[in-house]
Amino acid sequence: MKADNEMSVKDYFLLPKTPRPDLKRRIAVLDQVFSKYIRLRDADSRGYCRCITCGRSEPWKEMDAGHFVSRDRKAVRWDERNVHAQCPHCNRFRAGMQFLHGRQIDCLHGRGTADMLMQISRARIKVSLFEVEHHIVAFREKTKKLLENH
């Protein structure tokens, strides 16, 4: 017989969802790791990046990792095709020059990629801590490889 203090499966699922304070903190870490990776990926052998939208060339540390579809859309927030080295001026003051960024994405990753990213971004996904940790490890590894080859 079931004890009174034992919780049924149904009760368990009715419990209020516990907040995940860790998740926000780890997403912030992932954003930093990802941004560094993108800027190094787009840098030349001297460590300079060309802005995806205006072509200005600056040291990677002075560039932003500019999103084509906004970071708010989690489905493409860490999609490498959606993010490129961009000068702070274009990224912050010219609304990311989204149209031009989209055209460049099609040149770099194939025609229709920008549209596809837009479509993917409409999915309302919930990011799990597991997924975030996985991305952190993966992008740190990719960054390490880039630095070895620079």
Q: Which of 46, 45, 49 is nearest to 63 (CA)?
A: 49
Helix (H/G/I), strand (E/B), else coil: 48: strand
**Does 114 sit near Zn ion (CB under 5 A)?**
no
**For Zn ion, which residue of 54, 120, 138, 146 counts as binding (CB under 5 A)?**
54
Q: Which of 130, 137, 139 is nearest to 80 (CA)?
A: 139
**Does 51 sit near Zn ion (CB under 5 A)?**
yes
For Zn ion, the closer CB: 56 or 144: 56
Element (H, E) at 65: strand 64-67
In angstroms, give the least distance from the CB of 56 to Zn ion: 5
For Zn ion, the closer CB: 26 or 101: 101
Tokens (6 digits) for 101:
């960024």
**For Zn ion, which residue of 33, 69, 90, 117 counts as binding (CB under 5 A)?**
90
Q: CB under 5 A: which stretch of 8-16, 30-38, 80-88, 102-110 binds Zn ion?
A: 80-88
Maximum C-alpha span of the chain: 73
Task: Return residues touching Zn ion (CB under 5 A).
Answer: 51, 54, 56, 87, 90
